């Protein structure tokens, strides 16, 4: 396991703030003799620092796939599988897969297929809770489309949530990518949407707990 580069500054700042709180609690204990308060604050500082470091963890995983496989782009829970109209790029019917990422999940995002990036678009927006039906069209989000070697295109979208306030992405139009390569990170709670061809064979169901690079979403025909 390693720490994601997006977390270095936040972890450093958090260490300074939490260190100051711990130092203050120690001097308060020396002055008042309130051991219970010192223990409570110390426990809180340690738990908070652990959770912050854990949020930016990157587990060591090997992505094994066949060329037509669609691999999971994020850790989380499958909360939506439905046929819907995709109006930003395809403007037709697609299968939408939504994966909700809680603050306890790994928050790095990975390419679901290999191919060429045909479309990248960042949208500023609101910060509705990630499971809100309008979050995919009104929240801050970034949309990507990758064209598989077969010519099939897959759209995947990072969506900020009520807590997530920064979407990080590293893709550009025209870039060649491989399945399982990292393409972005969303800080503190969020959602990933996939829009797949209607005839896509799916390997997941609503409620499934999925893992990036390890869970197979489906297969392109």
Cα distances from 141 to residues 30, 126, 161, 194, in angstroms, run: 49, 9, 9, 13
Query: Do the beta carbons of residue 177 and residue 115 sit within 8 Å?
Result: yes
Query: Do the beta carbons of residue 117 and residue 175 sit within 8 Å?
Result: yes
**Domain locations in the chain as residue ranges:** 2-58, 69-219
Gap between the Cα atoms of 169 and 24, Å rounded: 38
Which stretch of DSSP H or E encloses residue 71? strand 69-71
Please write the tens of the pLDDT for every residue from 40-69.
Answer: 999 999 999 988 888 888 888 999 999 999
Helix axes 8-32, 35-55, angle to 10 degrees: 180
Mean pLDDT of 204-211: 96
Of these residues, 25, 114, 136, 190, which one is catalytic? 190
Q: What is the pTM (predicted TM-score) of this model?
A: 0.84
Catalytic residue check, 136: no
Gap between the Cα atoms of 51 and 56, Å rounded: 9
Closest CA to 190 of 139, 134, 122, 145: 139
Please write the tens of the pLDDT for every residue from 12-32.
Answer: 999 999 999 999 988 888 888
Q: Domain 69-219 classified CATH 2.70.70?
A: yes
Q: Is pLDDT above 80 for 134?
A: no
What was the pLDDT predicted at 45? 92
């Amino acid at each position: 396991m390693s720490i994601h580069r997006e977390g270095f500054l936040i972890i450093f700042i958090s260490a300074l703030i939490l260190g100051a709180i711990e130092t203050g609690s120690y001097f308060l204990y020396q002055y008042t003799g309130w051991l219970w308060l010192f223990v409570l604050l110390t426990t809180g500082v340690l738990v908070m620092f652990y959770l912050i470091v854990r949020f930016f963890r990157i587990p060591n995983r090997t992505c094994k796939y066949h060329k037509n496989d669609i691999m999971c782009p994020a850790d989380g829970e499958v909360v939506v599988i439905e046929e819907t109209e995709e109006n930003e790029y395809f403007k037709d019917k697609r299968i939408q897969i939504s994966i909700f990422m809680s603050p306890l999940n790994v928050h790095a995002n990975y390419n679901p297929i290999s191919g060429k990036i045909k479309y990248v678009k960042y949208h500023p927006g609101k910060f509705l809770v990630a499971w809100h039906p309008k979050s995919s069209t009104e929240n801050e989000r970034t949309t990507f489309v990758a064209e598989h070697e077969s010519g099939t295109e897959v759209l995947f979208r990072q969506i900020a949530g009520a807590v997530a306030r920064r979407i990080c992405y590293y893709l550009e139009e025209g870039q060649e990518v491989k399945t399982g390569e990292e393409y972005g990170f969303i800080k503190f709670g969020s959602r990933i949407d996939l829009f797949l061809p209607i005839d896509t064979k799916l390997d997941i169901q609503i409620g499934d707990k999925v893992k990036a690079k390890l869970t197979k979403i489906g297969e392109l025909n």
